[in-house]
Amino acid sequence: MKKLFARLLPGVVALCLMLTACGGGGSSDKSYDPKTTAQALLDSGAFSDALDTLDADVAANMYGIEADTITDCVVYASLSMGAEEIAVLTLTDEAAAQAAKTALEKRVDDQITALKSYMPDEVSKLEHAIVEQSGNTALLVVAADADKAQSTLNSLN
């Protein structure tokens, strides 16, 4: 019996290690800190427009999100009325974050409709918009260089 146990022990230990390494401990979920993420995106060189901050109440109204579900946010919008913007939102819970993601997707669709007739060059930026939700965070990035913005986001996690 001791010999059998001695032979099985390394296999059992290896199996346990593999299972814990593959476990869904949530480490694969992206979660963005609003200030850090927005600053990294601004510093990335992915934007061609000058951007300025919006406060949480203006952002909530602009995106159609319940203001009392936003616990922290950093939002930048183009000063030239172009499409470029950054919104990094922390919400009260995952359901609020999913609702915010839906609102951010609607914002992109509405902007495409609004800008295609008088600012058609901005539409391609919107077509490559990054909209994500994970846990209680939601994110929108509309940049001149979407690949550079995505690379920046990837480097944060």
- At 114-128, the pLDDT tens digits run 999 989 999 999 999
User: Looking at residues 8-14, what average pLDDT do you find?
Assistant: 38
The reported pLDDT for the residue numbered 94 is 96
Position 6 pLDDT exceeds 70? no
| Segments making up each domain of the chain, as ranges | 31-156
CB 115, CB 124: distance < 8 Å: no
Q: Quick: pLDDT tens for 20-69.
A: 333 333 334 568 999 999 999 999 999 999 999 999 999 999 999 999 99
pTM: 0.80
| SS3 state at 135 | coil
Percent of the chain residues past pLDDT 90, beyond the cut: 76
The reported pLDDT for the residue numbered 10 is 41
Mean pLDDT of the chain: 85
Cα-to-chain-centroid distance, residue 30: 8
The reported pLDDT for the residue numbered 84 is 97
User: Looking at residues 64-79, what average pLDDT do you find?
Assistant: 96
Angstrom CA distances, 56 to 3, 11, 109, 115, 127, stand at 66, 54, 21, 24, 25
The reported pLDDT for the residue numbered 31 is 82
The length of the chain is 157
The reported pLDDT for the residue numbered 29 is 59
